[in-house]
């Protein structure tokens, strides 16, 4: 048997003049959490709709657990769990009715696979008789995940489950995913949050329907092509703009309280940058060499791709 759960070759999709997906190829190993990291409009939802057999690709091929997304769609649907980006449960059914409905569609009942969802469902069980439309955002998200899991899928596909969710709930959601991974479920998850990349086994950075890079988060940050400096200084905006023109500096961007400046390897150093900032009239800037994170890499790959 193949070590891969999902194999995708040259998948393309076009809507009129818009090339939503441009020959995407990637493979997802069995049992891994694979993240698609990219902004809105990158093509994440189109890709997931093709993988879940809801949309036909214009070109290329894709299979999940050896089943082709076009020819074997009936068999494939039985082993997939899908949580779309928009809340898609029945608003006027109660929490429990929704769960029973989705179990029923897969010729199962709530009890058969209850242990798999117990952790998640217990948190919304007190509201079992409330209509789904009346739940808060966080509770809807937990119900949608329960419904996607109730038939014990082999592969779980989650389209932006954490969008618009606060930092605490985001972290809890990821803890749930890591527990599901331990059950052996292969998980594909799309997110616009760069900081969630580190929670995936491997990620694909995606933008304008193309994959910019596929690898483990560590390998992606390791392949960053520049020296990176982390700078803290007064007059942040002015310093940032001036830095972009300084000898050897490739780019300068805001990162929270810091400026991240990337430079041609070996072209400059923290002391030089620090003296330059002093010459701009800002004393006591803190400059140090730093390791890039996924967002640094994404910005670099994005601007590389645009030129």
Q: Which residues bind another protein (CB under 8 A)?
A: 38-42, 136-139, 160, 163-171, 192-194, 207, 237, 253-257, 295, 298-299, 302-303
Q: Shortest Cβ distance from residue 290 to another protein (Å)?
A: 13
Rounded-to-integer distance, Cα 189 and Cα 244, Å: 35
Cα 222 to Cα 124: distance, rounded to the nearest angstrom: 41
CB of 7 to another protein, least distance (A): 28
Q: How many residues does the chain have?
A: 307
Q: Rounded to the nearest whole angstrom, what is the least distance from the CB of residue 112 to another protein in the complex?
A: 30
Q: How far is the CB of 29 from another protein (least distance, A)?
A: 27
User: For 257, phi and psi rounded to 5 degrees?
Assistant: -75, -5
- Element (DSSP H or E) covering residue 119: helix 114-121
Q: Tell me how far apart the alpha carbons of residues 296 and 224 are, in angstroms, rounded to a whole number.
A: 8
Distance of closest approach, residue 278 Cβ to another protein, in angstroms = 21
Q: Do 298 and 211 contact (CB within 8 A), yes or no?
A: no
DSSP E strands in 153-285: the ranges are 155-159, 186-191, 202-207, 210-215, 227-232, 249-255, 258-263
Q: Which is nearer to another protein, 28 or 42 (CB)?
A: 42
């Amino acid at each position: 048997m193949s070590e891969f759960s999902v194999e995708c070759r040259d998948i393309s999709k076009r809507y009129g003049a818009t090339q939503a997906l441009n020959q995407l190829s990637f493979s997802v190993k069995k049992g891994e959490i694979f993240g698609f990291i990219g902004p809105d409009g990158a093509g994440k939802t189109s890709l997931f709709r093709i993988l879940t057999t809801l949309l036909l690709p214009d070109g290329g091929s894709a299979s999940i657990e050896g089943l082709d997304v076009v020819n074997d769609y009936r068999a494939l649907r039985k082993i997939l769990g899908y949580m779309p980006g928009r809340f898609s449960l029945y608003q006027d059914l109660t929490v429990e009715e929704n769960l029973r409905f989705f179990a029923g569609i897969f010729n199962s009942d709530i009890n058969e696979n209850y242990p798999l969802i117990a952790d998640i469902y217990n948190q919304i069980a007190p509201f079992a008789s409330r209509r789904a439309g009346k739940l808060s955002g966080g509770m809807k998200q937990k119900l949608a995940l329960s419904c996607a899991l109730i038939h014990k899928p082999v592969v779980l596909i989650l389209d932006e489950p954490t969008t618009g969710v606060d930092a605490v709930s985001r972290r809890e959601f990821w803890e749930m995913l890591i527990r599901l991974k331990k059950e052996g479920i292969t998980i594909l998850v799309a997110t616009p949050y760069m900081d969630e990349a580190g929670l995936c086994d491997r990620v694909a950075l995606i933008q304008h329907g193309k994959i910019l890079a596929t690898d483990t988060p560590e390998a992606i940050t390791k392949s960053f092509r520049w020296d990176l400096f982390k700078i803290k200084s007064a007059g942040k905006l002015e310093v940032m703009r001036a830095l972009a023109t300084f000898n050897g500096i490739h780019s300068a961007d805001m990162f929270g309280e810091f400026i991240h400046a990337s430079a041609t390897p070996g072209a400059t150093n923290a002391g030089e940058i620090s003296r330059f900032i002093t010459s701009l009239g800002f004393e006591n800037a803190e400059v140090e060499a730093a390791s890039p994170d996924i967002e640094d890499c994404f910005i670099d790959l994005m601007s590389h791709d645009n030129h």
